[in-house]
Structure 1
Amino acid sequence: MEYQDFYKTLGVSRDATQDEIKRAYRKLARKYHPDVSKESNAEQRFKEVGEAYQVLSDSEKRAAYDQLGTGWQAGQEFRPPPGWNAGGAQFDFSDFFDNIFGGHSTQQRPFETTEHSTKIAISLEEAYQGTSRIVAERGRMGRKLNVKIPKGVIQGQKIRLSTGMGRDLYMEIEFQPHRLYRAEKRDIYLTLPITPWEAALGCTVAVPTLGGKVTMKIPAGSESGQKMRLKGRGFPGNPPGDHYVVLQLVTPKANSSAAKAFYKKMAEELPYDPRADISG
């Protein structure tokens, strides 16, 4: 069994501080991460770096490792003293690690993670109800991961998925365009067309929401652009978002003789100048 110099692996001195060890590890983990590195020995080097960090970042393991002394050189034949064992291993590491720290513990403490991110597009209905996606992990592993997306996620929210061996995947939520709604954080907006007489006289209408139709009363004298709120009808959460209805007056076209006659009669019987306030 060859002796492994964990300090040399990370490129730090034997009196390096924990911050120095952490910085060295992060730099090398990024360099040799199998998902991004093009070097032929990236996976092996990534494993060696992680193994060294497992020992030197743990005060008890580091102290036990240092007890072996400084007289050994990397690559030299090495055998630990009879009966010498410093505790349980966490992964399928090298023979050197297993013989020194024991290789049969079922407890696991993962490497400090490196991060990757990807974007995933879902519908507003899926965001409201919750859904799942099959995501292919990047890199040489090529695994497919079933990811659960909880209900109430919002645009730009990141979901952390731990894939093991120091890899964390962050999925950023994007919303697909919707023919009716738009989202602002947990709030939902709907533009609701109404007729001039519905706005003038008031009415009761059925308003579609992500959770189903809701009956809403439009007061008499409503105007185009007026915003009305359905409390708690947006995305689920604590607190939940609201559903806002923006009124849009739609004027029927005068595309028939009867429609033209109706508009002429209305102009005669209901004289009104909407530009009175802006005329000089």
Structure 2
Amino acid sequence: MGKDYYKVLGIAKDASEDEVKKAYRRQALRYHPDKNKSPGSEDRFKEVAEAYDVLSDAKKKEVYDRHGEEGLKGPQGNEAPNGSTYNYTFHGDPHAMFTEFFGNRNPFDQFFPRKEDDDMDTDDPFGAGRGEKKKDPPVVHELRLSVEEVFSGCTKKMKISRKRLNPDGVSVRNEDKILTIDIKRGWKEGTKITFPREGDEGPSNIAADVVFVVRDKPHAVYRREGSDLIYPAKISLRDALCGCTVNAPTLDGRTITVTSRDVVKPGMKKRIAGEGLPLSKSPEKRGDMILEFTVKFPDKLGQSTCDALSQILPP
């Protein structure tokens, strides 16, 4: 059996975001080693921080609720809603998390009369009238991917600039950071990748999450619709009426030959199964390639051609 993070914080599994915060505040104050000298308080303090780190993050919480601690930390990982995998390890500093949450490097050095505040828990042994830091809204960036990158998968390194709080808890510094994104095969446009608390940080705010949203780069040949690839097949009027052969390139370097003996009307489509992009939830399967026919009409016809066509074509 893995850890029961809900039990660690003393809350029910259907606890709200507010209740998770209250529970962390209560337990962190209770087991902070500066005030609790009992054996094992440091380990319990870290365990409380890890539980809050998981349960306060929607994606981690979803994986944990579905698969437990083993699924969250397992070597094989578990597929999250956007196709990513988890191999979670708590690398955070429980003391830094405590400082970030309470907005003071040592919240025990000053005490204020308790206020009538519904957000304060009556079981909180060190609760003071100090308000929590507010978390800034997510910082959203576009992540432009080519069709080839979605087809094969890749790794992107994104450089961000941000402000971070100095150890004095007051001043801030500017710094750059490289965020690594493992692009999974078949990711759809609109997929979001969240880096918790990697944005600007200050003395009065918790660092915002940094979110990358997948957007498609325009392609010279294809147009993407979900997991399908649209290939514009341009044919002449003669081929449209008399039959045609289209050689369609694939993303892996092959050429597919498609022959049509039927009359091709403008806007007609032909589907080639399994030649599109990988499916985001089942990358071993693929969408389709769709030939979208465009008929090239001549700009003008000579009189003799018009006369011949009027005799041949039905009215």
Q: TM-score range by the shorter chain?
A: 0.5 to 0.7
Q: Is the 8 A contact 1:21 1:53 kept in 2?
A: no
Larger radius of gyration: 1
Secondary structure of residue in 2 paired with 1:154 = coil
Q: For residues 267 and 293 of structure 2, what CA distance do their matches in structure 1 show?
A: 5
1:178 to 211, 219, 224: 219
Within a 5 Å distance, the mapping from 1:118-129 to structure 2 comes to 118-129=141-152
Q: Distance in 1 between the 2:17 and 2:294 partners?
A: 58
1:197 to 210, 215, 238: 238
User: Gaps (5+ residues) in structure 2?
Assistant: 1-9, 47-92, 100-104, 108-134, 164-174, 199-205
Whether 1:226 and 2:260 are equivalent positions in the alignment is no
Return the TM-score normalized by structure 1: 0.56
C-alpha distance in structure 1 between counterparts of 2:216 and 2:306, whole Å: 46
Matched letter for residue 149 of structure 1: I
CA contact (8 A) 2:274 2:286 kept: yes
Distance 1:235 1:80, change over 3 A: closer
Q: 1:162 to 1:235 in 2, by over 3 A?
A: farther
> Deviation per CA, 1:203-255, whole angstroms, max 9, x where unpaired?
3221123333211122322222111001111111234211111111112344x
Residues 155 and 183 in structure 2, CA contact (< 8 A), matched pair in contact too: yes
Encode CA deviations 1:98-128: one digit per residue, 9 max, x unaligned: xxxxxxxxxxxxxx9x854321112222222
Q: Distance in 2 between matches of 1:247 and 1:157?
A: 30
**Of the candidates 113, 137, 143, which is equivalent to residue 160 of structure 2?**
137
The residue type equivalent to 2:18 in the other structure is R
- In the TM superposition, what is the alpha-carbon distance from 1:170 to its structure 2 partner? 2.6
1:45 corresponding residue in structure 2 = none
1:244 corresponds, among 271, 290, 298, to 290
Tell me if 1:264 matches 2:306: yes
Q: Would the aligned equivalents of 2:193 and 2:211 in 1 still touch at CA under 8 Å?
A: yes
Q: Which of 153, 158, 183 is the equivalent residue of 2:187?
A: 153
Deviation per residue, 1:16-63 (Å, 9 max, x gap):
98899953886xxxxxxxxxxxxxxxxxxxxxxxxx97563x5xx666
Distance 2:218 2:306 in 1: 41
Deviations 1:161-198 (A, max 9, x none): 45779865331101122233221211121221111222
The alignment of Structure 1 onto Structure 2 pairs a total of residues equal to 200
Unaligned runs of 5+ in 1: 1-15, 27-51, 69-77, 98-111, 274-280
| AA partner of residue 23 (structure 1) | D
Aligned partner letter, 1:199: A
Deviation of 1:262 after TM superposition, in Å, equals: 5.9
CA shift digits 1:117-142 (9 cap, x unpaired): 32111222222222332212342242
Look up the equivalent residue of 1:245 and give its one-letter code: L
1:75-154 to 2 correspondences below 5 Å: 81=37, 84-88=39-43, 89-90=45-46, 91=93, 93=95, 115-140=138-163, 141-154=175-188
Secondary structure of residue in 1 paired with 2:278: coil
Identify if the C-alpha distance between structure 1 residues 266 and 159 changes in structure 2 by more than 3 Å, giving closer, same or farther.
Answer: farther
Compared CA separation, residues 84 and 153, structure 1 to 2 (3 A): closer
Query: Structure 2 vs 1, CA of residues 116 and 202 (structure 1 numbering), >3 Å: closer, same or farther?
Result: same
SS in structure 1 opposite 2:162?
coil
Contact 1:198 1:220 (C-alpha < 8 Å) held by counterparts: no
Q: What is the TM-score with the length of structure 2 in the denominator?
A: 0.51
3-state SS of the aligned residue for 2:266? Answer: coil
Equivalent AA in structure 2 for residue 156 of structure 1: G
Measure, in 1, the Cα distance between the counterparts of 2:140 and 2:305.
Answer: 59
Letter in 2 for 1:240: R
